[in-house]
Amino acid sequence: MKNTLIKIAKELNKEQITWAIGASVLLNFYKLIDNPNDIDIIIEISDIEKANKVLKNIGHKKTCKESDSYSSKYFFEYEINKIDIDVMAGFVINYGSNKQYLYEFNKKSITDILNINNVEIPLTSLEDWYVLYSLMTKREDKVKLIEKYFRENGIRNFEILKKHMSKKDIPKEVKENITKLLKINN
């Protein structure tokens, strides 16, 4: 998986695309899980066409299945070196009774850079994924892993959690959980 990630990063970086890794590869970076299922890449909406072109050149674009859980503006699946790659821009999570939450990804969403063999791999924040996983169905285990990490290691990006709390479309329960986390780390 590492070599595939490097290959993707080289090509996206060469085209100056704003992108970052999220989901299971991010959790693996923080040593919260051992084996990521796939590579999830978040792209800034203005760069999605360039990214799609780059990824078509290095991999095989797969047919996407519809999902009731997400309403992302752009969602593509690729296979590169026999690894599944999910690419999204305008990432929207459907939750509750017909409610939606837009993850507003941009350069400020990148909170870390992983350097592998002199190739920069931008990472989204663990704080963002805490909120995103909190909104997704059947992701309670990942929410608990991130909460445990924050209790043991602290929260690095308070402002990201506060930004999510200020949004009106965050459920009360998620806001309460964020508030509890922020209190632990003060």
How many helices (H) and strands (E) the chain has is answered by 7, 9
Report, as ranges of residue numbers, the positions in the chain whose pLDDT lies below 50. none
pLDDT for the residue numbered 183: 86
pLDDT for the residue numbered 69: 85
pLDDT for the residue numbered 46: 98
Q: Domains along the chain?
A: 2-184 (3.30.460.40)
70 DSSP assignment:
B
pLDDT for the residue numbered 78: 96
pLDDT for the residue numbered 174: 94
Q: How far apart are CA 146 and CA 30, in angstroms?
A: 9
**The model scores a pTM over 0.85:** yes
pLDDT for the residue numbered 185: 65
pLDDT, tens digit (0-9, with 9 covering 90-100), for 135-185 = 998 999 999 999 999 999 999 999 999 999 999 889 999 999 999 998 876
Q: How far apart are CA 57 and CA 147, in angstroms?
A: 39
Triad 171, 129, 31: Cα angle to 5°: 140
